[in-house]
Structure 1
Amino acid sequence: MRQPDIEIYLKDADYQAVSAWLEAALGPCTPWQRKGQTYKCQAGDVPVTWLPNAVGKWHSLYLESATTPWEDDLACARAAHAALGVQIRCAPGSWDESQSEEDADRWIRIDTDGESEIIWRTG
């Protein structure tokens, strides 16, 4: 089932490289606009938010649309890792408040060693 939005976390990636990848995948990017700690742009028809150091050295990339080429966070994370060569983390699926806190700490890590499920306490 297609997710209504996408969020992945990237380690040691800069937004210029991310911009180039988004432009190739989604279409032309508008210039990044800084709003407080976040940066926003539009890639094709997709509103994008970049939050540097959202969790330590991890940067959050949030795509606010169901009309991306990726069905879910994991598909996007795989594509980002392939394009950028950095470690990516994403939720294994949608999570909502009715699920346990422990489920919120389950993440998929994608790096040069492949994919693995990890416990990542972000809160």
Structure 2
Amino acid sequence: MRQPDIEIYLRDAEHPAIAAWLSTAIAPCSPWQQKGQTYKCRAGDIPVTWLPKAVGKWHSLLLESANTPWADDLECARAAFAALGVEVRCAPGGWSEEDGLEDADRWLRISSDGEETITWRTG
């Protein structure tokens, strides 16, 4: 089932590299518009938000559409790691308040070490 949007966290990447990757993977990106600490652009018709240091040293990439090449966060995280060579984290699937806080801290880590489930306390 496709997610309504995609959100991944990248360790050592900058928004120009992200734009170059998205331009290849989706469609050419519009110029970034900075609003406060947030950067926004469009990859084709997909709204993109880049938030540097959203969680510590981790940068958030949000693709606000179900019409991406990836069905879920994990597919996108794998593609980002393959293209950029930086550690990427994503949620293992949807989460709701009923799932509890322990499930909220369960993340997938994709790095040169492979893929693994980790506990990442972002709150």
Give the TM interval when normalised to the shorter protein. Answer: over 0.9
Q: Match for residue 69 of structure 1?
A: 69
| Counterparts of residues 1-123 of structure 1 (less than 5 Å) | 1-123=1-123
1:106 offset after TM fit, Å? 0.2
Other structure's SS at 1:98 match = helix
What is the count of residue pairs matched by the alignment? 123
Other structure's SS at 2:59 match = strand
Query: Which sections of structure 2, spanning at least 5 residues, go unmatched?
Result: none
Of the structure 1 ranges 89-98 and 61-70, higher mean CA displacement relative to structure 2 is found in 89-98
The percentage of counterpart residues that share the same residue type is 72
Give deviations 1:13-55, integer Å, cap 9, x for gaps. 0111111000001101110001111000000111000000001
Please provide the CA RMSD for this pair. Answer: 0.5
Counterpart CA distance in 2 for 1:28 and 1:113 is: 31
Aligned structure 1 segments of 4 or more residues deviating by more than 2 angstroms: none
TM-score (norm 1): 0.98
